[in-house]
Amino acid sequence: MERLPKLAVFDLDYTLWPFWVDTHVDPPFHRSSDGAVRDRRGQAVRLYPEVPDVLRRLQDLGVPVAAASR
């Protein structure tokens, strides 16, 4: 039987996306009509390409996911 973690915790900056959220983007964030998450200036907040698949797989396996940052 495969052992799964009880919880998967990810740092945000330079783990899920390629920037520091406190210096490279300007909150508040919103979902635009094209489905992208954008900051106040309209800059898209993009995840690393692999992140959605990793998070989806963890969800499919029933592994809770948490975020941590400084």
Show which residues are catalytic: 11, 13
For 10, the token pair is: 């990810």
Q: Which of 29, 16, 17, 30 is nearest to 58 (CA)?
A: 16
For 57, the token pair is: 């797989």
* CA 68 distance to own-chain centroid: 11
